[in-house]
Amino acid sequence: MLMPVLFRMKVIPLILLLAVVFAFLLNWPVLLHFYNILTHLEHVKIGFVISIPFVLVAALNFVFMPFSIRFLLKPFFALLLITGSMVSYSTLKYKVMFDQSMIQNIIETNPQEAHSYLNGSIILWILLTGVLPAILLFLIKIEYPSKWYKGIAYRLLSMLASLALVAGVAALYYQDYASVGRNNSTLNKEIIPANYVYSTVRYLKDTYFTTKEPFQTLGDDAIRVANKEKPTLMFLVIGETARSQNFSMNGYSRDTNAFTSQSGGVISFANVHSCGTATAVSVPCMFSNMNRTDYDSNKAANSEGLLDVVQKTGVSLLWKENDGGCKGACKRIPTIEIKPTDNPKLCDGETCYDDVMLENLDTEVAKMAGDKLIAFHMIGSHGPTYFQRYPAEHRHYMPECARSDIENCTQDQLVNTYDNTIRHTDHVLAQMIEKLKQYSDRYNTVLLYVSDHGESLGENGLYLHGTPYKLAPEQQTHIPMQVWMSPGFIAEKHIDMTCLKNNAAKNQYSHDNLFSSVLGLWDISTSVYHPESDIFRGCRS
């Protein structure tokens, strides 16, 4: 069925019109950012200010022109309009940057997570700025030059005109553009569609079209002296989107650690930083033997990790997943994927409260042999639907932000809701500690909790997480870490708790420490263990 024709337009003016639409509509966030920068400068040339949208239109026209081929133009630019609309909304509302890591986050997000980002605001935005322009594009009858060589000539002339305009502006205001660019390195990552198209191509190239490294085993020389009196039971809890500054044990004014503070013996590490600002980076990084500065996702995906090394020494392992995937960290480990449809009391059909991970735990422990390590991957404080992370009885701070378009809540509502998620995580951790206490007559027990990354709650206009690490605010990288040990475990490992508490308050740590710290707690001797990275080693006699 043929589409009706709304009106006719020649191909060269149409591409220029698309460049104008992208520049003024979808790139509205970058123009706002640009002019916000200029308002804070002491001296600004009026010609430089006026030139900015013209340069953006000319640059987009130059880049768009090679794609103005018959049969390609309409589907190609319709796709760019719709995807660009999504990116524009995220940039405008949440200040999200679409680098390669963000593309990885999007591709690896499960349908339940993706659904939590949907709301009336984003749907209306996409319809008006993406779907509607795409439909109008299909209703245009595009007129192409009668001769192919004329088409090439006209396109080249349009591209040369764009280059001439950019060159002319550069001749007049190069120093101004260079100065703003040097001092605001994120601007070039905000231009739509160049930012997300380039990042997507890089991600696909690195993931699917780059020769994978040969699979590397790790810690083949690992040996461990088993406990003589009792076996060990460890709970290793990976938090989600928790930031350190909202933990009362780390100085926050609200009592968000009301439950673990009553458990007795919980030590909170005040100065810990993440490997990344998103789960897709942080989780595989923290379980690898690489540091943040030399972390290679391709290498990590083709190598064994921390849990593989522990498993080689005879420890029974289990991974319980409540956050949509372990990002490869549990690939060779027995895993239980918690299904939101299996527990209507603790799940809503799409996600589950973290309390669900305590269900059937006694049975699961009984099925494991000898020394045991159970890793729990929490949904924790995953946004933007923070209000869905805790049951009604944990609505402690009110009023809450019971919506996904969190930028439309007041700051108080947003912080209340986020703090409720932290308090509920604390409740779950306290339940886990109580469970370990019940096992302390049969096992030496220990719980180690660390979050994968933090979260922005509107500070400096930023929301959620995923900002490139070198640009990320402290809220996204400063994370909580806590440890609890039974008296039997403390005695078995000869740990000076006063020493550990002092170190937790004053020393700087990061995800880089997790690998060797866990190996150290299990007394595993291997060439991949680095004693200087073991948090606990300095406090063991």
Question: Is 216 a member of any domain?
Answer: no
What pLDDT sits at residue 2? 55
Domain that holds residue 149: 7-208
The winner for highest mean pLDDT among 183-187, 321-325, 407-411, 417-421 is: 417-421
Q: How far is it, in rounded angstroms, from Cα 305 to Cα 125?
A: 43
Q: How far is it, in rounded angstroms, from Cα 424 to Cα 441?
A: 28
| CATH code, 452 | 3.40.720.10
Q: How far is it, in rounded angstroms, from Cα 385 to Cα 371?
A: 38
Would you say residue 260 has pLDDT above 90? yes
283 shares a domain with 353: yes
What's the rounded mean pLDDT across residues 432-444?
97
What global pTM score does this model have? Answer: 0.88
196 shares a domain with 261: no
Phi first, then psi, for residue 216 (nearest 5°) are: -110, 130
245 shares a domain with 178: no
Q: How far is it, in rounded angstroms, from Cα 485 to Cα 282?
A: 25
Tell me: the pLDDT tens digits for 284-342? 999 999 999 999 998 999 999 999 999 999 999 999 999 989 999 999 999 999 999 88
Question: Is 356 a member of any domain?
Answer: yes
Percent over 70 (pLDDT), the chain: 99
197 shares a domain with 55: yes
323 shares a domain with 277: yes
293 shares a domain with 157: no
Question: Is 282 a member of any domain?
Answer: yes
Number of domains in the chain: 2
Instruction: Check if the beta carbon of residue 454 is closer than 8 Å to that of residue 274.
Output: yes
445 shares a domain with 389: yes
444 shares a domain with 363: yes
Tell me: the pLDDT tens digits for 7-26? 899 999 999 999 999 999 99
Using DSSP bridges, classify how beta strands 372-377 and 232-239 pair: parallel, antiparallel or unpaired: parallel
Phi-psi region of 5 (alpha: psi -120 to 50; beta: other; left: phi over 0): beta
Count, in order, helices (H) and strands (E) of the chain. Answer: 19, 14
What pLDDT sits at residue 213? 77
Residues in contact with 198: Cβ distance below 8 Å, sequence separation at least 6, in sequence order: none
Would you say residue 1 has pLDDT above 70? no
Q: Which two tokens stand for residue 394?
A: 């944990």
Tell me: the pLDDT tens digits for 168-197? 999 999 888 888 887 887 787 899 999 999
Q: How far is it, in rounded angstroms, from Cα 474 to Cα 452?
A: 14
DSSP H or E stretch at residue 318: strand 316-321
Chosen domain end from 208, 224, 254: 208
138 shares a domain with 278: no
Q: How far is it, in rounded angstroms, from Cα 139 to Cα 3?
A: 6
443 shares a domain with 530: yes
Poorest-pLDDT segment among 212-221, 258-267, 353-362, 369-378: 212-221
366 shares a domain with 454: yes
Local structure of residue 329 (DSSP, 8 states): T
Local structure of residue 18 (DSSP, 8 states): H
297 shares a domain with 362: yes
Q: How confident is the model at residue 3 (pLDDT cuts 50, 70, 90)?
A: low
Nearest one of 198, 181, 233 to 63, comparing CA atoms: 198
Question: Is 244 a member of any domain?
Answer: yes
Q: How far is it, in rounded angstroms, from Cα 194 to Cα 83?
A: 12
Question: Is 444 a member of any domain?
Answer: yes
Local structure of residue 144 (DSSP, 8 states): P
Would you say residue 452 has pLDDT above 70? yes
Question: Is 154 a member of any domain?
Answer: yes
Question: Is 89 a member of any domain?
Answer: yes
Q: How far is it, in rounded angstroms, from Cα 514 to Cα 451?
A: 11
Q: How far is it, in rounded angstroms, from Cα 3 to Cα 141?
A: 10
Tell me: the pLDDT tens digits for 111-138? 777 777 788 899 999 999 999 999 999 9
Question: Is 2 a member of any domain?
Answer: no
